[in-house]
Structure formats: structure tokens, C-alpha cells
Amino acid sequence: MVPADIAPQIISGGLRSRVIGRSLEVMAETGSTNDAIMAAGRAGRPEGFAVLADRQTAGRGRRGHSWASPAGLGLYTSILLRPHQPVARVPLLTLVAGLGVAHGIEEIAGVVVRLKWPNDVLVESRKVAGILAEMTTTDEKVSHVALGIGINVNHGPRDLPEALFPAATSLSIVTGKTFRRGEVAAAVFSALDRWYQVFRDGCVETLLAAGRERSATLGRLVEVLADGERWQGVAEDLDTDGALLIRLESGELRRVIASDASIRTPRETVSPQQ
């Protein structure tokens, strides 16, 4: 049974969007909401269709990590997008989602949210949410994208995977409040709808400017793990496709693509995955 706090009426009642979440399905349990959206994409569901689950049995994060998805605590949702844009623009959707999640969380919880490149959403320097964008292409064109969002909402410290605490946090931990997850979803979908419109209008500079302003990465010394190599540099800027530009000590400027790399700040002892 679907718990009352994620009932479809709660989500629809708070929704101020044109596309995102206008049609949706709420499930008690699924493997991964991203898989459910991929299937919905193949079945011809409309853009903006969203799936939420009370619990995921095979929730996943970037680079093969799992995403713990216990019932009743987190918001686990994925949204179907059909961007009529070149494949090279798709990585920007992670930034679009980050901005949507940041604005939605700020509205609902009154906390300051920052973005750690490429897909972490932070409150008080700790990870509160993660984003996983997965794309299907046909003839080198984007067919559809599953934009997956996992938010730690009502978790207490003991509900977060031990290896990740205190690198991770939840909305409840930072505010001392309990949230109706459907209201969090409505706020996030509404904000995401606005940022997705900016993306669809091709206003890349507007997205990048907002991403720079919220970045917890730019200006910092970062350690990059990519292709079995580990190296350091100062994160200098976001490129027009969402790649991270890193200045090495030698003066060389390197581009890092999200799908190839993970980064951490050298003082971090745990690389937060959740």
C-alpha cells in the first residue's frame, strides 16, 4: 500500500508545473524508479511523466553505487524527459535537476542548498540528495531520459548507511522537522519545471550562471579519479556542456566529464555517495 504522505493527491495538489509531474504513478515498491521510467519511455508515455516509490529494492547511484531506499523515509522519484536537443547537451540535465532540487528543498525546508559537481545536492556541506540521469538514444538522437532524484527526507542519523554518516544528512536532521514527502515532491517538480523550461529554451548561460552561484566545487582544490588515474587541481569553471574545468599546478586547463570521473576535496575522508 502507498503511504498517505506520498498519495498522488498530495503531489498534484501542490504542483505548479506545466510538464513535470503532470502525469504520475506512485508505487509502494519497485526495483529502481529509473528503470520504471525507461520502460515508460519505451511505452510512449508523455514527457514529464513521473514515478515515485515508497521503497526501491535496487536503487542505484552513479558509477555502480547502490542507493539505499528504505520505505517511509526518502523521496525516490524519476521523471521522463524527451529533450529535443543534441546528445552533447544531456549532461546539463544533471545541473537542471540539481537546480530544481535545490530550489524545491529551499522552499519546503528553508535551508541553504549547494551543488557539488556533478550530481550531489548538499546542505551544511553534507549530501542530502543525489541525481542520476540515464539516456536512451536511437540513431544517435536522444530518445528519452530518465532523470532520477533521491532525497533523504525523514531519515534520522541511524537510518543513513553507517559508512556514509556524517558525510550524508537529511532534511529532518538539519531542520528537526518531519516532512510529507509528497509536498517535497511537488515543490521539487515545480522548481524543476521552471529550470527545464530554461534548458528547452536553450538558455545555457542562465543555467551555468545559476550552477556557478550555487557551486560547492568551484574555487576548491579537488582530487579527480578518472580512468584509473588520480590527480589534483583547482576547479575553475563549468564548461558549456556541464563538464568541469580544472586548472592544474602546471597551468594546464583540463576538462572532466561527469560520466568519466568522480571528484572529492582532498580533506574529505569519505566520498559522500548519499
Q: Is 30 in the site for ligand BTN (CB under 6 A)?
A: no
Q: Is 119 in the site for ligand BTN (CB under 6 A)?
A: yes
Instruction: State how far Cα 45 lies from the chain centre.
Output: 22
Answer for the pair 11, 51: CB distance below 8 angstroms, yes or no.
no
CB nearer to ligand BTN: pick between 108 and 122? 122
Q: Is 41 in the site for ligand BTN (CB under 6 A)?
A: no
Q: Is 59 in the site for ligand BTN (CB under 6 A)?
A: yes
Of residues 64-93, those binding ligand BTN (CB under 6 A)? 65, 67, 76-78
Give the closest residue to 11 by CA, choosing from 225, 250, 188.
188
In sequence order, the β-bridge partners of residue 135 are 145
Q: Is 61 in the site for ligand BTN (CB under 6 A)?
A: yes
Q: Is 49 in the site for ligand BTN (CB under 6 A)?
A: no
Residues 6+ apart with CB under 8 A from 162: none
Alpha-carbon separation of residue 22 from 30, 51, 75, 103, 195 (angstroms): 21, 11, 18, 19, 16
Name the residue with the smallest CB distance to ligand BTN: 130
Q: How far is the CB of 274 from ligand BTN (least distance, A)?
A: 6
Q: Residue 257: phi, psi to the nearest 5?
A: -100, 140
Residues near ligand BTN (CB under 6 A), total: 21
Using CB under 6 A as the criterion, what x/- string covers residues 135-174 for binding ligand BTN? -------------xxx------------------------
H-state helical runs in 140-238 = 171-175, 181-200, 204-214
CB nearer to ligand BTN: pick between 205 and 244? 244
Answer for the pair 207, 99: CB distance below 8 angstroms, yes or no.
yes
Per CB under 6 A, the list member of 5, 10, 11, 33 interacting with ligand BTN is 33
Rule CB under 6 A: which residues touch ligand BTN?
Answer: 32-34, 56, 59-62, 65, 67, 76-78, 119, 130-132, 148-150, 273
